[in-house]
Structures are given as C-alpha cells and as structure tokens.
C-alpha cells in the first residue's frame, strides 16, 4: 500500500514538473512575441498584456473573417509588388531618357542688349549724367542644331545597362508575384486543414469531458484512485488545449492569407471590439 502511494506521488510529481516546463516554454514564446510586436510597431511601452479573447472567437466570427480574406489573386496594389514595380518603372524611365539623348537637339537662341553714353554721334560731349540713360538697343535671335557624335558609343552602353537593369527588376517582380501566388495557394491548403481539424476537436473535447465526468463520479464513490482521475483530467486538458490550438492555427493561416493578398486591414478590423 505504501509503495502504491509512493508511485502515485511520484507520478503526480512528474506530471507537475512536465506542466511547469511547458509553462516556462510558453512564457518564453510569449515574451518573444511581445518583443517582435514592439519591434514591428515601434511601441515604446513594453508593459502591456496580450488580449487572449482572440483565442476564444466564435465560429460565426471565424467564418466572417474567412469570407473577408477570401481573395485568391495577387493584385498590383500589393505593397511588395508595388515596390518592385516602382523600381521597374524607374529603370524604364531612365532608359527612355538616355535614348532621347541620341536625338539631335534644336535650340532657340536669343540675346538683347542696350547701352547709354554722354557722347553724341557728332562728337559732342554732354553731361556725364546723360550717359546714364539707355539710348542704344540691339538684339539677336537664331537657331542651333546639335548632335553628340563623340559620346554616342557611351550613350548606347548606358542604355544597354539600364535596359538589363529594367529586365532584372521585371523578373524580380514576376518572381515575387509567383512566390506570393504560391503562398496564397499554400494558405488555402492550411486554412482547409485547420478547418477540418476544428471540426474534429469538439468530438474529442466531448469525449474527454464525458470521461472526466465519469471518472469524477467513480472517484467520489471510491471506485477509482487519484491516479486514474489525474490521467483522465490530463486527457481533458489536452483536448481543451487542442481546441485553442486549432483556432490559433486557423487565425494564423487566415493572417498569412490576409498579408499575401493585401487584405490585412480588413482582417485587423475584425478585432475592433
């Protein structure tokens, strides 16, 4: 009897230590996520608590979020694609500018001048003050045609370099678009897997709750010992943890899709309680 109680005590201690280790690991993950949040948002105050209501969202709200981020196409409004397109457009504009430098330039030239003098045309000297008034005017106008023959080779080299850069930026944009489309497809697969898992979790939870209720009644009646009750309570804890984890996975996959198809603002607006 003594050895039996000792074994029960040891078993309970092992389960307690395992639960404590899991708590420490979870707390470490929690602090890392808070640090990431501070980094990405620029918030200076680190003394805040995470709203855990997101882990207990209703099925109706989850369906609403899924509907709002359902877009399965990648548009040019995506910030990442817009960045690469801006680089591509800039390279194309530079290329056009360099090519226009090949063209001959027609310039309109004009000049005008005036002067005053106290000396008249008949060699008569007037007062010095009369020379301060303008009385002679002249002007000139013309056209000039220029073409840079010396630097034409260098201009072609510059145009070729910019053209290759524009092609590289275009390939980067296309590659990033393909990557986003692949991420979008993967997000759909993950969302469906999370939904399937979420459908099975209530069955598991109901079975664990029934088993715990049965063992509790048997324990109160003295038919089972504390070890059996602890085992079934651990199964109930695992089922409840799986329920929270399933909703967390679904939220994470919905968030990933919202980031990919540029519906992040719509996704975040669902949490404005």
Query: Do residues 159 and 80 both lie within one domain?
Result: yes
Query: Do residues 25 and 15 both lie within one domain?
Result: yes
Looking up residue 202, the CATH number of its domain turns out to be 1.20.1600.10
The neighbouring-strand residues paired with 143 are 108
Q: Which residues contact 95 (CB under 8 A, 6 or more apart)?
A: 159, 162, 163, 166
Q: What domain range is 3 assigned to?
A: 1-50
DSSP letter at 127? -
DSSP letter at 90? H
- The pTM is what? 0.61
How many residues are listed for the chain in this entry? 273
In a structure prediction context, what are the per-residue pLDDT tens digits for the chain, which is 273 residues long? 445 566 666 766 777 777 788 889 888 988 888 888 777 667 777 777 766 665 566 677 777 777 777 777 777 778 888 888 888 899 888 888 887 877 788 888 889 988 777 776 666 676 666 666 777 788 888 888 887 777 777 777 788 888 888 888 889 888 888 888 888 888 888 888 888 888 888 888 899 899 889 988 888 888 877 778 778 888 888 888 888 888 888 888 888 888 888 887 877 777 665
Give the orientation angle of helix 2-41 with respect to helix 226-260, to 10 degrees.
Answer: 20
Q: What is the pLDDT of residue 2?
A: 45
3-class secondary structure, 105 = strand
Query: Do residues 70 and 30 both lie within one domain?
Result: no
- With CA atoms as reference, report the closest residue to 116 among 138, 95, 96, 98: 138
113: left (phi over 0), alpha (psi -120 to 50) or beta: beta
CA distance 248 to 256: 12
Residue ending a domain, choose from 16, 35, 50 = 50
The neighbouring-strand residues paired with 112 are 139
Query: Do residues 17 and 80 both lie within one domain?
Result: no
> Using only C-alpha atoms, what is the Rg of the chain?
39
Query: Do residues 89 and 203 both lie within one domain?
Result: yes
Query: Do residues 230 and 270 both lie within one domain?
Result: yes
Dihedrals φ, ψ of 133, to 5°? Answer: -90, 135
Contact 73, 79 (CB under 8 A): no
CA distance 257 to 201: 23
Query: Do residues 158 and 236 both lie within one domain?
Result: yes
Give the orientation angle of helix 152-220 with respect to helix 79-100, to 10 degrees.
Answer: 180
Contact 254, 267 (CB under 8 A): yes
- With CA atoms as reference, report the closest residue to 191 among 112, 105, 252, 101: 252
Termini Cα distance of the chain? 56
Residue ending a domain, choose from 129, 146, 163 = 146
Query: Do residues 120 and 160 both lie within one domain?
Result: no
Residue ending a domain, choose from 88, 123, 146 = 146
Q: What is the pLDDT of residue 48?
A: 72
CA distance 8 to 1: 11
Q: What is the pLDDT of residue 269?
A: 77
Query: Do residues 136 and 189 both lie within one domain?
Result: no
CA distance 165 to 87: 9
Query: Do residues 222 and 185 both lie within one domain?
Result: yes
Query: Do residues 62 and 120 both lie within one domain?
Result: no
Structurally, the chain folds into a number of domains equal to 3
Query: Do residues 83 and 30 both lie within one domain?
Result: no
């Amino acid at each position: 009897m003594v050895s039996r109680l000792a074994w029960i005590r040891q078993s309970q201690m092992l389960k307690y230590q395992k639960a404590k280790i899991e708590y420490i690991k979870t707390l470490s993950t929690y602090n890392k996520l808070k640090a990431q949040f501070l980094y990405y948002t620029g918030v200076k105050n680190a003394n805040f608590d995470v709203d855990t209501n997101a882990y207990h969202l209703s099925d109706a709200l989850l369906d609403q979020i899924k509907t709002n981020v359902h877009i399965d196409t990648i548009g040019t409004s995506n910030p990442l694609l817009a960045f690469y397109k801006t680089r591509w457009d800039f390279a194309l504009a530079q290329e056009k500018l360099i090519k226009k430098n090949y063209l001959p330039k027609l310039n309109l030239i004009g000049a005008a001048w005036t002067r005053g003098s106290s000396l008249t045309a008949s060699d008569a000297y007037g007062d010095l003050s009369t020379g301060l008034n303008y009385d002679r005017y002249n002007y000139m106008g013309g056209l000039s045609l220029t073409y840079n023959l010396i630097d034409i080779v260098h201009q072609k080299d510059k145009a070729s370099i910019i053209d290759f850069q524009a092609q590289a930026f275009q390939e980067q944009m296309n590659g990033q678009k393909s990557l986003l489309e692949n991420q979008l497809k993967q997000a759909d697969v993950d969302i469906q897997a999370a939904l399937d898992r979420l459908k099975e979790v209530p069955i598991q939870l109901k079975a664990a709750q029934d088993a715990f209720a049965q063992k509790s009644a048997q324990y109160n009646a003295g038919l089972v010992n504390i070890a059996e009750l602890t085992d079934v309570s651990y199964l109930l804890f695992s089922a409840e943890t799986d329920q929270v984890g399933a909703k967390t996975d679904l939220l994470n996959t919905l968030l990933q899709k919202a980031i990919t198809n540029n519906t992040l603002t719509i996704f975040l607006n669902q949490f404005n309680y």
